[in-house]
Every structure is written in structure tokens, then in C-alpha cells.
Structure 1
């Protein structure tokens, strides 16, 4: 196979440049996906700017993608070749900013035929993160929950909660009353200082510090779910309100999840993709750029906060 194009990380400039690579040999349980679309997430441009994992020169960023399986390792069923899939990759491995990406065979979701590669590539990181957050709290008669922030993750999370029968309030400066009403959200607070009631669960997508300030708004036996950062120490004294503290880190599953964990997540992901194709979950179409305009797409994602996807012809 001819060399293929990749976007390579440059350590000195904290930027990416276009380069070439050769198809690597696959391990027994790996697959090679020919990317048809690549999702841009905030984690991508944040890590390119700060390089917290000390990526070397030449590292390929990107966690989300969608495409077609074109090769498989010796222990992978060859019937998977030709299958349309979406994936969330590890930040520690070469990622989706390339024409081809090597992945663990068990860490991909099969796409419904009617779902486009462009929309599929926009979904893994926010959709699976929202699902992990949703799964943290039990279904009980205490149904009032608060969602703080309304980006891509919390847009999906709010819909999962509403569909499960929760009463959902949101803190957001940008969510319109019309959209909130359409989704079934009960109340939109423009500022946290306006909140005048207690909740069974609060989902915070701002910061660990912000989440800590929200803990007093929980009922006894309530739940605080941190989608950004975490709360290091309990806020209440022991044996008082017995608050449960939760942290979400989808990427950590690559290092700490086993085969069973991934199987469960991918099954849930495939079920969610089916719901999206049936319009049971409302998703905005992403803004698209072509592969040669990757740097511009990162800037667009950062400064517009709109979901951005790269397409490959």
C-alpha cells in the first residue's frame, strides 16, 4: 500500500503539519480503519496546545473517527472487513487525524446503514461521555436533576435523562427558552446564583471547583457528577448528607477498562446510534472541513464551540 497522509504533532510549535506514514503491521487483535470522517473535540486542540501527555514529534492526534475496516489482525474475524464503524481512540496512541487508523478490534461501534460517516464521527466522545454520566445515578423516585453547562455532552445527557423520566433543569447562558421547551427541559437558569431548590443529582461540566460549589444544592443521599475535572475531597462532614461523588473520564477506559467494560460501552453506543437515526435523540449536523484544512477546523472548533468534522473524499 502506498504511503498515506497524517497530521503530525510538532513539539516546538505546539501545532500540526501534514506528513506521510506507511501502514504498520497489525497485532493479532487490531484492525485498520480507513477514515471517511474525523471528529474534532475540545480535548484535541487543548492537548495540541498544552501537550500534557508529552507526545513526541510525529504523534498523530485525534480521538474520534468513522470509516471502513480494511484490514484485520490474525485473531480478528475477516468478515469485519468492509464494516462501517465509529470509534473513540486513546490519546496515548496514534489517533484519527490520518487517512488510516489502527484500533483495538473490540473498541469500535458498528454504524446503522442510514447514519452518515460525518454525523457518526461527531458522536463518539460526547455521546459516550454523556452515557457514562447518565449511568452514574440510580433510577429512584427522586427525579429532579440539574445539568450545568449545555455543550455537546450535556445536550445529549439532558435528552437521556428526560427520556428516562427525570425532571431536568439546566444552567446555561446560551440555551434558548424555545429549544429548552422543545426538548422538555423544565427550567433554564442563566446564572447559578438563581437556583432556589435542591436536587437529587447535579451534573457539572464546568470544573471540579464549580462542582464543589454546587454540592450544597443536593438533597440528602444526592449525587454530584463531574464531567470536567473532579472533587478531591468530600464537602460535607462524614455521616451527614452522605453525598455520592462521581467522576467521568471516557479516555481513562483505554488504560483501566477490560474487554467486558468495552463490550458493554460499545453495545450501549450502538443502541444510542440507532436511537439517533430514528430521531429519538436530537443532534445538530456538524460543520465540515476537508482533510487538508485540519488546522482551520481546530480553530473553528475552539472559537465557535460548534461541532466540527473533517471529511475525506
Structure 2
């Protein structure tokens, strides 16, 4: 059986090591993607360090990637071969830290021709998470929303919200005034203690505990959206302000989403990729490393907090 290079998990060291493995046979509805670029996300190095899912030795980490379909299962159309795709893989299966990745055919996004593999690989996790957060709130005449924390997810979320007609304020200690003006953000707060109005919705990317502290800043019938963690129990008494509580967990869709859920998410993802390709969504160019530099890339992502991508020749 053909082999490929992989970065495999080592349980004793909570790290990854370069190795080789056989490319597995495809199920009827699966595709084999030859990776051209691999996206590094915080979830990758966090899970490698802590191993909350009890990965065995040899597991291939990595959730984001982009490449070319080179093989398809027996139930799939051969015309899929050579199509350019990006994907978000399940943490419970062998992922993107490899030359090839096996995926469910319904869980990939077709790429615009003008979008590079490097930029595409940087997008699935933050972009699809931002979209899930955006879909949690209804489009009503109450348009004032607050974003707390400003990493890759909220950079995308702010642009999605502003494009949809929302008035967006942000709490961030690091966001530049120049960036605020460029994105069309109305108000920048450096600390939460500066907040002086109430919002229809708040998107918090800090923690469930922080989200709970933000609930008093909501209007009646408002929405709190936890992008990190969740609020385990309602903060307000019943039948008072009737706040709606939302949690975001993109990876959970692999276990609890059906074919319709994935089809909707992938089509919306493809529409966002088109907007990125046309320059309608502003994305920072990721820092790139070679495939053999995976440990350095993981360290760069963790220490520099910058979007990091592995490129494959």
C-alpha cells in the first residue's frame, strides 16, 4: 500500500514526530486530499499538549487544510478528482498534519481559482466558527452588537456582521485605531469596565466566566454568544429579561451534525471564500513554514498568536 509522510502524536512526550504511514482505503463516500497547505490553529497545539481526547501514539493531529482531491470512494463522481478544496477535519480522526488526508466528501469546500492554498488553509476553523456565531442571532431592527476579544475568529465575525448591517463595537486591548477605521467598527473599548450602553447581542471570545460577567450589558431579549467555553446556567431570574444563551463548538458538528447541517455550512463557507478571493473580506497574510518545520510552526502559533500555515511542495 502507498505510504505518505505524517506528523504523528507521541503520548509520552505530548508532541509530534515525523513519520510514515500507509494511506488508508477509502469508504464509499470518502475522498483523499493531497494537501498543499496546512493551517495551524490554537486547538492544534492545545490538544497536542493536553491530549483531552486520549489520542493514541500515531494519531495525526490537525483540523485545517487545503489541497487537491486525488482519489474518491466508489459512490462518488470521478469528476471530483483534481478539484481544489479546503476543509475542517474532525479531532477524532486522522487530520491535516500529513501529506494526504481522508475526508467525508460532504465536508469540504470547493475553492475559487484565484484563492491560494496557503490562504485557504488558514481559514476553515476561524471562518466557519465566525459564521456559526453570526447565525445565532436574528436580523432585526436592533442592530447594536458588541465583540469582546479580537483574534482570527472575531476579525472575520466583525466583517460579516458589518456587511449584514449591524453596528459593531469592540473590546480589545491590542486592536489598532487604524484597523478599527478600516473595518468600520463604531467604537473601540480598551477595557470592559468602559462599557456604557446595552447591546442586542454580545459575542465573547474570552471565556464562559467572562461571558457571564457581560450578561448585564444586554438589552431585554438579548443574546450572549460564547465563542470560547459556555455559560452553564442562566444568570438572570426566569421570566425577566429572557436572555438567549448560545455556545459555539465547530468541532462538535462532526459528531452531532447530519448531512443537511454540513451541506448548509459548506455552501455558506464557499460563499465566504468567494468574498475573500474578491477582496471583500480582509484577511492577514499567514506566516508560512515548510512541512518539515511543524514543531517550529506550532511554537510560532502559540507564542506569536499569528496565523500560521505549513506549505507542501
Fold equivalence (TM over 0.5)? yes
Q: What TM-score does the superposition give when structure 1 sets the normalisation length?
A: 0.99
Instruction: Tell me how far apart the structure 2 counterparts of residues 170 and 107 of structure 1 sit (CA, whole Å).
Output: 32
* Structure 1 residue 41 displacement after superposition: 0.2
Q: What TM-score does the superposition give when structure 2 sets the normalisation length?
A: 0.99
* Structure 1 residue 2 displacement after superposition: 3.8
Q: Report the equivalent of 2:200.
A: 200
Instruction: Tell me how far apart the structure 2 counterparts of residues 298 and 154 of structure 1 sit (CA, whole Å).
Output: 21
Q: Report the equivalent of 1:119.
A: 119
Q: Report the equivalent of 2:48.
A: 48
Q: Deviations over 1:64-87 (max 9, x none)?
A: 000000000110111100000000
SS at structure 2 position matched to 1:193: helix
SS at structure 1 position matched to 2:153: helix
Q: Report the equivalent of 1:180.
A: 180
Q: Which runs of 5+ in 1 are unaligned?
A: none
Q: Report the equivalent of 1:32.
A: 32
Instruction: Tell me how far apart the structure 2 counterparts of residues 3 and 245 of structure 1 sit (CA, whole Å).
Output: 47
* Structure 1 residue 3 displacement after superposition: 1.7
* Structure 1 residue 22 displacement after superposition: 1.0
SS at structure 1 position matched to 2:106: coil
Q: Deviations over 1:188-216 (max 9, x none)?
A: 11010111110000000000000000000
Q: CA RMSD in A?
A: 0.6
Q: Report the equivalent of 2:76.
A: 76
Q: Matched residue pairs, number?
A: 313
Q: Deviations over 1:102-142 (max 9, x none)?
A: 00000000000000000000000000000000000000111
Instruction: Tell me how far apart the structure 2 counterparts of residues 98 and 168 of structure 1 sit (CA, whole Å).
Output: 39
Q: Deviations over 1:140-188 (max 9, x none)?
A: 1111000000000000000000001111000001100111011100111
* Structure 1 residue 309 displacement after superposition: 0.1
Q: Report the equivalent of 1:220.
A: 220
Q: Report the equivalent of 2:232.
A: 232
Instruction: Tell me how far apart the structure 2 counterparts of residues 2 and 47 of structure 1 sit (CA, whole Å).
Output: 28
SS at structure 2 position matched to 1:106: helix
Q: Report the equivalent of 1:270.
A: 270
Say whether residues 1:279 and 2:263 are aligned partners: no
Q: Deviations over 1:257-281 (max 9, x none)?
A: 0000000000000000000011110
